[in-house]
Amino acid sequence: MSCNVSDPKISEAYSRILSYDDLDWMIIGYGVSRDTLLLYSSGNKGVAQMSASVPDEVVFGYIMFEGSGVLVTHVSHKISGVQRARGLAHQKTIAAFFSQHDVTVNTTKPSELTPTMLRERTRHLAIKSVPMKG
């Protein structure tokens, strides 16, 4: 099952995040569509601001967190099984679009998206980037 991520606002926000411009996160969602994604929100105040912007539905987010690209799939615990299945089916397409991600995280409540959780999920990246002493 594919979804449409052709909204130019999505590409523009993603480029701005990757270039360390004035954005560090974005959230995209379905709106009234079943398969066309739109830019819902974006910002430059980190994970706390992003978490406060996550609605109770299926949305996908991207955040540059401490130098790591994190893809967020949020499937609210309040939605129907059909909506949940559609969101999960679109994960692969979204991951291909946000190809510059280092880690993928899943949440069911906005409160799960915290600096501590992201730090835990990206910790192994910092360990891998430390040069080995010979």
Instruction: Convert 58-109 into a string of H (helix), E (strand) and C (coil).
Output: EEEEEEEECCEEEEEEEECCCCCHHHHHHHHHCHHHHHHHCCCCCEEEEECC
Q: How confident is the model at residue 127 (pLDDT cuts 50, 70, 90)?
A: low
pTM: 0.87
Q: How confident is the model at residue 92 (pLDDT cuts 50, 70, 90)?
A: confident
Choose between 89 and 19: higher pLDDT: 19
* Number of C-beta neighbours around residue 132 at 10 A: 4
CATH class held by domain 8-128: alpha beta
Coil/strand/helix, residue 42: strand
Sorted by where each begins, the domain ranges of the chain are: 8-128
CB distance 90 to 1 below 8 Å: yes
